[in-house]
Structure 1
Amino acid sequence: MNGAIAGGVDALFNKENFFTGMYRGAIFGAATAGIVSGISWVVNKLSNSYQYRISEMLVSDDNTLNGTTKAEFNINTVKDVANTPRYKNQFIDGSWQIVDETSDLSKNLISNGYTFDSSSGLLDGPRGQAWGVTESLTHKGKLVWQRIWLPKGTFVSLEQLDLTMGHEIFHSILNNAYLFDQYTLDGVNKKHFVHEHFTAKWEQAYVKFRNWTKLNLNVMNLDDAVLNDVGMKGLINKITPIFNNYIKSTLK
């Protein structure tokens, strides 16, 4: 057990697959202890109690930025935005990662179909291009770690970077509250996500508050489809007060 856990953690720090690391660690731990049976059972028990999740800010339209502020592509730019009063201490149990090639991504993201598109500077994923991605790992419903990935193309302007970071931070806040994203299907089996309903509402309010409406930033379209699903009512009711607090803390 100790070998499996240590192996999994070591794999995370080396951007390797968590469960592969667990298995490798379990084998090593069992070998040194002289125990060779039950390895698969142990790893399966541990693996089944972990859950990996991905949230993202999708590119919803083309934008031609006008009058925006230049943003330098480096982690210090990210830290400067993260340490502003609106976002400071909001992103908990996580780290920022910048991306300018696919190899910068975690192996979990790559295995889930994410790559860096050098022509646009954005991330390509199963649902299309993304300005930013939040990945998280939970154990028995509790958050173990999370990362926010920001590709080079998001640094097209300081305003777009700020908007993307605010979007992803809200995903992380809901993850910390164990209010993980769920989706409903419409008549043509298109997925509509609860988190994205709220992040779109925040983006629109934030852009208006910062007087960025003329900058033609990439803002998500408001999707109200989840409001029509009675099965989502409980989750929506729990997210609403958190959303209201986030609005108050960022619109100042």
Structure 2
Amino acid sequence: MDFAGYRYSISEMLVSDDNTLNGATEAEFGRDTVINVEKAHYKNQFIRGSWHFVDETSDLSPFLRGQGYSFGGNNNKNLLVNGDRKVWGLTEIVTHNGILVWQRIYLPKGAFISLEQLDLTMGHEIFHTILNNARLFDDYTLSGTNKRSWAHEYYTSRWEEQYVKFRGWQKLNLDMESFNTDAFYDKSLEGLINKIKPIFNNYLKSTLK
């Protein structure tokens, strides 16, 4: 969405399956939980942005509500909902003439289903903010089935895969991003993909410890 040089955009982490709590760690909904995870695994990563916690639709910005997002309540696992899509978390970005103005990560109450799922969701969204800070804004190609395949999400999926293995969370059935492989092979996105790669490598190194 563009208005007088301002552009609003959204990156989201979709829900595709059920998260199981077998062996997972209970998490309390609130800022203290997020700050503790941030200090433990993402220290000094999330800059020029803010956290926003959602347990009712009014916690969302007018732009997000205008795009059809709402808080799903218990029937939708206390997640963000937009049509048939359920969302663990999303990042709202505002730019002006290509310059980042502000960004905000929304975490619905349902993302706190376990400490591990919250951690994974936070890491996913933080990587979006790092790329936005670098002015490497997301772009997509269309797959053979006319589905959008995003450059950012290609790398977030690779990060999630490595992060879950590193933490030993394979048996927790955490919800993870699809691979978005079509974005990697699309020549029109090659420049963006190549610029993201070194940032991805640094992020992977900083979080796998």
> Which residue number corresponds to residue 78 of structure 1?
34
User: Partners in 1 of 2:156 and 2:83 — Cα distance?
Assistant: 20
The answer on whether the counterparts of 2:141 and 2:183 sit within 8 Å (CA) in structure 1 is yes
Q: Say if 2:149 is the partner of 1:192.
A: yes
Q: C-alpha displacement at 1:106, in angstroms?
A: 0.8
Higher normalized contact order (CA 8 Å, seq sep 6+, divided by chain length): 2
Task: Work out which of the two has the higher radius of gyration on C-alpha atoms and give 1 or 2.
Answer: 1
User: Partners in 2 of 1:171 and 1:105 — Cα distance?
Assistant: 19
User: Partners in 2 of 1:222 and 1:65 — Cα distance?
Assistant: 24
User: Partners in 2 of 1:55 and 1:101 — Cα distance?
Assistant: 20
User: Partners in 2 of 1:87 and 1:183 — Cα distance?
Assistant: 27
Q: Give SS of 2:145's match.
A: coil
Q: Say if 2:4 is the partner of 1:48.
A: yes
The answer on whether the counterparts of 1:136 and 1:143 sit within 8 Å (CA) in structure 2 is yes
Q: Which residue of 14, 39, 55 maps to 1:100?
A: 55
Overall identity of the aligned pairs, in %: 61
Q: In the TM superposition, what are the counterparts of 1:1-252 in structure 2 within 5 Å?
A: 47-84=3-40, 86-118=41-73, 119=75, 120-125=77-82, 128-252=85-209
Name stretches of at least 5 consecutive residues in structure 1 with no aligned partner.
1-43
Normalization by structure 2: what TM-score? 0.95
Number of equivalent positions: 207
Q: Give SS of 1:179's match.
A: coil
User: Partners in 2 of 1:202 and 1:126 — Cα distance?
Assistant: 28
Q: Give SS of 2:80's match.
A: strand
Q: Give SS of 1:83's match.
A: helix
Q: C-alpha displacement at 1:62, in angstroms?
A: 2.0
Q: C-alpha displacement at 1:63, in angstroms?
A: 2.5
User: Partners in 2 of 1:245 and 1:194 — Cα distance?
Assistant: 17
Q: Evaluate the alpha carbon distance shift between residue 171 and residue 126 of structure 1 in structure 2; reply closer, same or farther with a 3 A threshold.
A: farther
Q: CA RMSD in A?
A: 1.5
Q: C-alpha displacement at 1:223, in angstroms?
A: 2.4
> Which residue number corresponds to residue 28 of structure 1?
none
Looking at secondary structure, tell me which structure has more helix per residue.
1
The answer on whether the counterparts of 1:65 and 1:217 sit within 8 Å (CA) in structure 2 is no
1:127-151 residue CA offsets vs partner (Å, 9 max, x unmatched): 7111001001111211111100000
Letter in 1 for 2:7: Q
User: Partners in 2 of 1:174 and 1:190 — Cα distance?
Assistant: 23
Letter in 2 for 1:100: D
Letter in 1 for 2:59: D
User: Partners in 1 of 2:174 and 2:189 — Cα distance?
Assistant: 30
Name stretches of at least 5 consecutive residues in structure 2 with no aligned partner.
none
